[in-house]
Structure 1
């Protein structure tokens, strides 16, 4: 019988910067869950405080890059009594396989949760072969 393992909740990680930035803000790697369906992959990213007009999603050289920027004016003048997460922008990248139809990727942001639908390319979907 397989042993049960408790899933550990990952702590919020600051993005390890590989390049210099001119933005005077911290950048975090959003937590992600990836689910496989018969039609493709669903990627769910936590980006609290990010408005849908402040999300930039692009595919370049088979890399899906997601950036979410916070409006820091919402936080001016506030004195937090207690906080559980640091305020900052979000950035995450995923290398895509040739099985993903990059032209049909869709996204939805609701209540700080970004859902990406990465559909399988037609050539990657299972199919029956007829015997003649």
Structure 2
């Protein structure tokens, strides 16, 4: 989902690309969060077709914020994908990105956490092979 954070503003200020495309098929152009989740969950659910039963799929995602709203994207996607029926969540690993700078967002007036990690969602294909 398209958003412009401090890094996006830097790219715009330096006249660099900040949007992948204007194409309606580009998932980043879906504005509604629930539709975005549903579309992405369907895509990953379809990955069970070439993957043998019992094998694993990992998906790397980050939670995010849009204005004042904080999205627990990793949990929302895991739940949406499990509801599709071909995968079960087996665990989550954290990728810590310690190279990122720490910004004192909002201090001293509010708390706005930095995003210094990504979630690796580990799913097992439970769809029986045809």
TM-score calculated relative to the size of structure 2? 0.33
Give the structure with the larger helix fraction: 2
Larger radius of gyration: 1
TM-score calculated relative to the size of structure 1? 0.33
Give the structure with the larger strand fraction: 1
